[in-house]
Amino acid sequence: MEVAAAVLAAALLFGQASLAPPAAEQRFEDRDDGRQQAERDLQGGIAFTKRGDFEKAIPLFLAARGRVAEQFALEFNLALCYVGTRQFPQAIRILSETGGGQHTVNVKNLLAQALVGNHQQEAALKALQEAADISPKNEKLYVLVSQACLDEGLYDLGLRVLDVGMRNLPDSARLHFQRGLFHSQLDDAEAADREFELVQKLAPNSDIAYIAAAEQAFRSGQVQDVIHIAREGIRAGCTHYLLLTMLGEALLRAGATPATPVEFHEAQEVLEKAVADRPGYSSAHIGLGRIYLALDRIPDAVTQLELSRRLDPLNRAVYSPLAAAYRRAGQSDKAREALAALAELNRQEAARIGSAEGGHAGYTGGAPPRQETPTH
């Protein structure tokens, strides 16, 4: 299974919450129209950020810049949106100039993620360590920065990040889960299995335990086991969006189609719930887009798959179904562009693997969901 993920803020960006000004300070009566509009733009941008719609948020933040009371909230959220849209230099510039005060850990956390995205590895590790010095037990810090490393294929750096985290939180199930993902990408199945099994011992009957067990089954090709594990977890009340997405994808891979209505409806139901619960998770949109393709709901399929590509343009799994959706919508030029983008990503991946001493090529086409580490 190809791994990557959480550039998903507030509603998604790596689980990183957006920062909103205190409600008590949102008083517009004594301000002129320009200031009132700036405050409305700030609140509108924050609302878009919470939904993971970073492209719509950025113009609002830029319009309000320098004209709002809570300038730090604006700058932080703008940087977060730049990370979410892979505009890393812009994010780095803002965060390097921002004094975080009580939010210093959040600033360093997001700065480390931006530096990872920009492949400034030593600077990223330095920012991570500075944040860890302030808040050593901050589990999410290590999860999110290491996840950014997974997204960029920087596996050695990610393991170094996790080493810092595990010195402070040696029994963190989430950090062990993350390390399992890295070992899987490095084709060390034995080490990955050890980590996923440890997750289940450290946090039995939890969301992450079911997700780890399903991940193991997915990676060994045991699709029916994935279905069994995910259903068991959901019956036990574990309805995390990752588990829902894995169940939907496994049902599709096991052959669910409109001709098998019980399984197909179950896949549609869990994927729609996953998208509703975490609208910024790219893989859930891919699965749902494939469902809508099978139902001949072509505009809906295009919407879901285009959203997935915007959320995670490096996710190669989106491009084949997107090209199919474009073809069926009569947009042959866009279909060719999608296939060309896939070919380029495959070329880049082959070059990256060829330049390394190994590494996992991942999957394309109908891949299982690109994984992210649960942060709640």
Ranges 51-65, 245-259, 282-296, 317-331: which has the least confidence: 51-65
Please write the tens of the pLDDT for every residue from 316-347. 999 999 999 999 999 999 999 999 999 999 99
pLDDT-derived band at 311 (thresholds 50, 70, 90) equals confident
Q: What is the pLDDT of residues 218-254, one digit of tens each?
A: 999 999 999 999 999 999 999 999 999 999 999 999 9
With a cut of 70, say whether residue 15 has pLDDT above it.
no
Band (pLDDT 50/70/90 cuts) for residue 63 is very high
Q: What contacts 217, CB < 8 A, 6 or more positions away?
A: 223, 225, 226, 229
Indicate the Cα dihedral angle 125, 312, 253, 271, nearest 10°: 110
What DSSP assignment string belongs to 218-257?
HHTT-HHHHHHHHHHHHHTT---HHHHHHHHHHHHHTT--
b vs e for 29-47, b when ≥16 Cβ sit within 10 Å of the residue's Cβ? eeeeeeeeebbbbbbbbbb
CATH class of domain segment(s) 1-18+33-169: mainly alpha
Q: List every span in the chain annotated with CATH 1.25.40.10.
A: 1-18+33-169, 221-376
Is the backbone of residue 3 left (phi > 0), alpha (psi -120 to 50) or beta? Answer: beta
User: Is residue 366 pLDDT above 70, yes or no?
Assistant: no
For the cut 80, the answer to whether the pLDDT of residue 24 exceeds it is no
Alpha-helical runs (H) found in 155-313: 155-168, 173-185, 189-202, 207-219, 223-235, 241-253, 261-277, 282-294, 298-311
Residue 32 is predicted with a pLDDT of: 60
Length of the chain: 376
Report the pLDDT averaged over residues 110-139: 97
Average pLDDT over residues 143-158: 94
> What's the alpha-carbon Rg for the chain, to the nearest Å?
21
Distance CA 80, CA 103 (A): 14
- Distance of alpha carbon 126 from alpha carbon 285, whole angstroms: 35
Sequence-distant (6+) residues with CB within 8 A of 271 are: 244, 245, 248, 284, 287, 288, 291
Per-residue pLDDT at 264 = 98
Residue 369: pLDDT band by 50, 70, 90 thresholds? low
Mean pLDDT of the region 29-54: 83
Q: Is 98 left (phi over 0), alpha (psi -120 to 50) or beta?
A: beta
CA dist., res. 215 & res. 60, Å (int):
39
Tens of pLDDT, residue by residue over 174-208, are 999 999 999 998 989 999 999 999 999 999 999 99
Tell which CATH classification among 1.10.3720.10, 3.30.930.10, 1.25.40.10, 2.30.30.60 matches the domain 221-376. Answer: 1.25.40.10
The 10s digit of each residue's pLDDT in 81-122 is: 999 999 999 999 999 998 767 889 999 999 999 999 999 999
Mean pLDDT of all residues belonging to the chain: 87
79 has a pLDDT exceeding 80: yes
d(CA 166, CA 343): 38
Question: Which of 48-52, 188-192, 213-217 has the least mean pLDDT?
Answer: 48-52
The average pLDDT across 285-300 equals 98
- How much of the chain exceeds pLDDT 70, in percent? 85
Beta carbons of 244 and 233 less than 8 angstroms apart: no
pTM for the full predicted model: 0.82
